[in-house]
Chains A and B, each alone.
Chain A
């Protein structure tokens, strides 16, 4: 268990990002926005980087944009209560997942499938949203974190990298 993190992502946020939450990704290139889904996330030990695993087969545009300019927004939403955070930053590495990250993606797939099943969505109904073909890991250097849970604080900045 992490004690404290020196980066933008604190311990509580890291725990949330790595929990079974829906992960959606926004990227763009030459003014054309693109959407993708993440298959699990892992916060680097010191909190300075966030790895998000993506199927390059299902979301080729997202992976191409991440390679091209690195600008990314990743929104993490817990389906049971809509607690939502958006992390904005830059992808500085696109690489095949390490065995540990691959295991993280598989664990995530099992857990998010169970979390959605608990809400009444049978696993076979949500399977089309989480292909595991041609997985790649996007290493994101977070620059800003926003809370987006519906409510009065929605959209407010909770952390920003200085300098």
Chain B
């Protein structure tokens, strides 16, 4: 009996490797594993051609091939009779396969090895189920569930107002709707060519301030390619990329925050956020369940990410502007405790009490406020004056000041620093210094 190719979609998720057999002109078989098979409509498949030259030579001699694919949900095996038709070196199908392969191989640390040179297109002549039964499928999903989940999350987003509320709302609503264990919201920092973690749920540490370079790992690749990338069975990835311990010692040494990580993650999905044609950030979800995110979830999460991107852009654009800083009432009196603050001009990294806090623009922002505090005793600031101040030399702040302020505020909270940022509302920023500042600046590293 020949089955419909469309019914086999789960087989093409790239979870269980497929098997390809070809024959040489003299009939000598060649059998190998294949990482990616993509369905092209109802009657064709495309195979990632990272083949060994033997397979390519065999297909020139004999276009018939056998393909074995496995459904990762119930482990059923299907045997496809296929006929080689042509090779693709560009176009949308090739682009999609190349991106999938880059995502997989980057996760495996084999990106230099598994570059897609071409995709081979085959006609599917027949599809047969291989005897041997099926494993009990994982608890089924009701079709259309993903859309309802997306609606629940975007509903929560519409109620959030300022930036901090948007980030918290989306993380909480996602956890409730999708039932995964951990998630991250990262925002694009074009100036540094990286993504910055702005909020998380489900990790031991928040990871706020962690940076992911564009193109690195699943998150960086999703951002670079502007496409959703999914991993459904990360078990084989665990041995690679040993976890970097999130520790203060590590932070101070590297002047960076470690990206949090779910040790037993089996499924991951990274969804780019785009607004007005520009990358705004990435939404990232992880689960310890295998195949936790299916193709339908990816679509639903793309809708969520778009809405999130717009909500963030709106929160930045509409952040209430206070023109005059209102005097602060009942400011806690500064104690005599000495607070050692070290600023490294080289990268604007700031250490408080020897603990690494932030670098880059948020670091410069904090130093600017601390200078005003030391010189004029000021504790009240407005977003308007920060935007206008030429001394900050930050033209890019116009669009993402709220993001930087939120990052700074949360890092200070997380480090339980004796300096805090409060947001009394209306575009105001209040500095709270619980001690006596001892600031030193260093021109170079060391």
Contact = CB atoms under 8 A, between A and B. Distances in A.
Contacts, number: 115
B110 interface: yes
B140 to A, nearest CB: 16
B100 interface: no
Interface string A19-57: 000001111100111110000000000000000000001
Given A129-B77, A148-B52, A35 B31 contact: yes
B75 A86 contact: no
B144 interface: no
Interface in A143-163: 148, 150-151, 154-155
Contact of A79 (B32, B64, B74, B236): B236
B265 to A, nearest CB: 10
A77 interface: yes
Given A35-B68, A120-B235, A26 B33 contact: no
Contacts of B238: 120
A154 B52 CA distance: 7
Interface in B106-150: 110, 113-114, 130-136
Interface in B208-249: 233, 235-236, 238-239
Contacts of B290: 120
B23 interface: yes
A113 interface: no
B310 interface: no
A58 interface: yes
Interface in B65-114: 65-68, 70, 74-77, 79, 81, 110, 113-114
A12 to B, nearest CB: 22
B29 A24 contact: no
B364 to A, nearest CB: 45
A80 interface: yes
Contacts of A81: 239
A58 B31 contact: no
A128 interface: yes
B131 A58 contact: yes
A143 to B, nearest CB: 9
A126 interface: yes
A78 to B, nearest CB: 11
A141 interface: no
Contacts of A154: 52
A119 interface: yes
B135 A148 contact: no
B130 A71 contact: no
Given A35-B79, A155-B52, A155-B53, A75 B31 contact: yes
A124 B136 contact: yes
B374 interface: no
Given A25-B31, A28-B23, A131 B64 contact: no
By CB atoms of chain A within 10 A, which of B53, B67, B133, B236 has the most? B236
A148 B32 contact: yes
B266 interface: yes
Contact of A77 (B30, B33, B130): B33
A18 B134 CA distance: 27
A106 to B, nearest CB: 17
A125 interface: yes
Interface in B276-300: 290
B31 A128 contact: no
A124 to B, nearest CB: 5
A26 B21 contact: yes
Contacts of A74: 31
B444 interface: no
A75 B290 CA distance: 27
Kindly name the residue among B62, B68, B110, B132 whose own CB sees the greatest number of chain A CB atoms within 10 A: B132
A73 B75 contact: no
B39 to A, nearest CB: 19
B28 A88 contact: yes
A83 B112 CA distance: 17
Interface of A: 24-28, 31-35, 57-59, 69, 71-75, 77, 79-81, 84, 86, 88, 119-121, 124-129, 131, 148, 150-151, 154-155
28 contacts: A24-B19, A26-B22, A26-B30, A27-B21, A31-B27, A33-B21, A33-B65, A35-B67, A35-B68, A35-B79, A57-B131, A58-B130, A58-B131, A71-B27, A73-B29, A75-B31, A77-B33, A120-B235, A124-B135, A125-B75, A126-B135, A127-B75, A127-B135, A128-B74, A128-B77, A151-B110, A155-B52, A155-B53
The 3 lowest CB-CB distance pairs between A and B, nearest first, are: A26-B31, A120-B235, A26-B29
